[in-house]
Chains A and B, each alone.
Chain A
């Protein structure tokens, strides 16, 4: 970097994404606390370690192939030509945003004086990956093996969500061009897919012992430590601030980018390179959180677990269009999402005997799907991408945001890239006898040996006199 303004812009952007990564780390802290608080004492430590170990597993695989998938797959492949090289093949050519630069052997995947952005951008996306895997983690507690969860965490965190991000969360993604898909803060690309993936696993995994009576009536296995759950959800809210900021490009001159001669227009943009403001999305974040809490408090009869979860569900439902909504629209959409998530959770539980231990499928999956569908109506007609301006794509114009495209997008996220892969991988693991812990272990508790060893240690210490 040799000119001062260019250097300031670059290093501001680098620092901006770095801050979002640190904030998003709190999402994972929150998920760990939340899951431990929701699990029973005899499974606590195993529950904690299962969620913790997704961090290294998803990180290493994200380095090895997850990041490459994001840059290689925007065209499908084979569904819509790229605006960069006009080919519908995998994007692995010499162009600026090619996956070629993000293979693990690339010298850009390391300390490189010529590139201040790739590493922090890689990390911001990685933290999204942890979130996707962590959403799944809560649903399956107290009966899945750590081995199976590790494989499933890699599948959702480093493969399937990154495919959906390439398709629907990349400026060159085919879902933008053909469907008019718009999902500014990831109602679908993180939440709907992770909820669907969790549901696919739960269908194969089955409920915890005792969850349903012999007549099929669901029993409540409520959180064992509501305070830990509460703090955990507050931390997830906090990390979500970083998540929202990370979904933006902080500073961009849209004039030359859109091909407007002589026009300079500096602004923040969403991931699709259309303008928004950090200021406006902050209002929307808070109003959708509020809408979620208001609706959750009423519909759940003041239940703290559901009220807090509803705050999250509210944000998730409004997230697809929170770059453009009015704050009151955002609040109302959040309230609708909470009602959908809450009602669907209990209906699915009763009807299909699905034991979603923390309501993850509801809060992330159903609220995310509802958010995508609503976005299609409320933002109907807006451009889905900055590159739909002018003749930047040779195929035809990008489709504008529309209800049908968003509905199809929701199906792709929840069912095609979420539920079906989750179900298939869980079936394979089940066939190998690796999915679920033995019945006797579930009854005794996964931590039995650890607790017994602690008791013996304690006994030895307390009986000693010197």
Chain B
């Protein structure tokens, strides 16, 4: 996985390789993982929010009911 194992060899090469992160060449896989995390986050967030909103809506609290929940200013 290591792209660089010896800095002296790396920097004294005729042409210094710029990319030094681990796993050079695996960027495509990393991007697919990022896409899954991004889209997956929306799916999970939407599911949680819909559940929260419908639960709260069912209770039909009044506009000032939240004030009884305020413990300290």
Quick check: A64 and B38 within 8 Å, CB to CB?
yes
Least Cβ distance of B2 to chain A in Å?
Answer: 14
Annotate B34-71 by CB proximity to A: 1 below 8 A, 0 otherwise. 11011001100110011011111111111101101111
Quick check: A111 and B57 within 8 Å, CB to CB?
no
Residue B57 contacts which of A57, A150, A440 (CB distance < 8 angstroms)?
A440
A60-B66 CB under 8 A given contacts A107-B27, A114-B16 = no
Quick check: B34 and A104 within 8 Å, CB to CB?
yes
Chain B residue with the shortest CB-CB distance to A53: B45
A437 to B62, CA, bound (A): 16
Quick check: A444 and B18 within 8 Å, CB to CB?
no
User: A115: CB under 8 A from chain B?
Assistant: yes
Quick check: A147 and B42 within 8 Å, CB to CB?
yes
Quick check: A438 and B57 within 8 Å, CB to CB?
yes
A451-B27 CB under 8 A given contacts A104-B34, A443-B61 = no
**Interface set, chain B 3-49, CB cutoff 8 A to A:** 16-21, 24, 27-28, 30-31, 34-35, 37-38, 41-42, 45-46, 49
Binding stretch for chain B, among A281-289, A367-375, A452-460: A452-460
A57 to B60, CA, bound (A): 32
A146 to B51, CA, bound (A): 13
A150 to B70, CA, bound (A): 29
A448-B20 CB under 8 A given contacts A104-B34, A145-B53 = no
Quick check: B70 and A451 within 8 Å, CB to CB?
yes
A105-B28 CB under 8 A given contacts A112-B20, A440-B57, A451-B66 = yes
A23 to B8, CA, bound (A): 36
- Majority SS of interface residues in chain A? helix
Quick check: A114 and B18 within 8 Å, CB to CB?
yes
Least Cβ distance of A96 to chain B in Å?
Answer: 15
User: A110: CB under 8 A from chain B?
Assistant: yes
User: A61: CB under 8 A from chain B?
Assistant: yes
Annotate A95-125 by CB proximity to B: 1 below 8 A, 0 otherwise. 0000000001111111111110000000000
Q: Which residues of B contact A211 (CB under 8 A)?
A: none
Least Cβ distance of B13 to chain A in Å?
Answer: 11
A437 to B55, CA, bound (A): 12
Q: Which residues of B contact A61 (CB under 8 A)?
A: 38
- Majority SS of interface residues in chain B? helix
Annotate A409-437 by CB proximity to B: 1 below 8 A, 0 otherwise. 00000000000000000000000001001
Q: What is the size category of the interface that chain A forms with chain B?
A: 35 or more
Residue A448 contacts which of B16, B19, B38, B65 (CB distance < 8 angstroms)?
B65
Quick check: B72 and A458 within 8 Å, CB to CB?
yes
Quick check: A441 and B53 within 8 Å, CB to CB?
yes
A450 to B5, CA, bound (A): 51
Quick check: A106 and B69 within 8 Å, CB to CB?
no
User: A349: CB under 8 A from chain B?
Assistant: no
A115-B18 CB under 8 A given contacts A147-B49, A438-B54 = yes
Quick check: A150 and B42 within 8 Å, CB to CB?
yes
User: A445: CB under 8 A from chain B?
Assistant: yes
User: A42: CB under 8 A from chain B?
Assistant: yes
Q: Which residues of A contact B24 (CB under 8 A)?
A: 107
Chain B residue with the shortest CB-CB distance to A150: B42
Chain B residue with the shortest CB-CB distance to A105: B27
Q: Which residues of B contact A57 (CB under 8 A)?
A: 38, 41
**Interface set, chain A 59-117, CB cutoff 8 A to B:** 60-61, 63-64, 104-115
Q: Which residues of A contact B65 (CB under 8 A)?
A: 444, 448
A437-B53 CB under 8 A given contacts A146-B45, A448-B66 = yes
**Interface set, chain A 108-162, CB cutoff 8 A to B:** 108-115, 145-147, 150-151
Chain A residue with the shortest CB-CB distance to B52: A449
28 A–B pairs (Cβ distance < 8 Å), ordered by A:
A41-B70, A60-B34, A104-B31, A104-B34, A108-B18, A110-B19, A113-B18, A113-B20, A114-B16, A147-B46, A147-B49, A434-B46, A438-B53, A438-B54, A438-B57, A440-B56, A440-B57, A440-B59, A441-B57, A443-B62, A444-B61, A444-B62, A445-B66, A448-B61, A448-B65, A451-B66, A454-B69, A455-B70
Closest 5 pairs (CB-CB, A-B): A114-B18, A444-B61, A451-B69, A107-B19, A105-B27
Known: A111-B21, A115-B18, A448-B66. 12 other contacts (CB 8 A): A57-B41, A60-B37, A63-B34, A64-B34, A107-B24, A110-B27, A111-B19, A111-B20, A438-B57, A451-B66, A455-B70, A455-B71
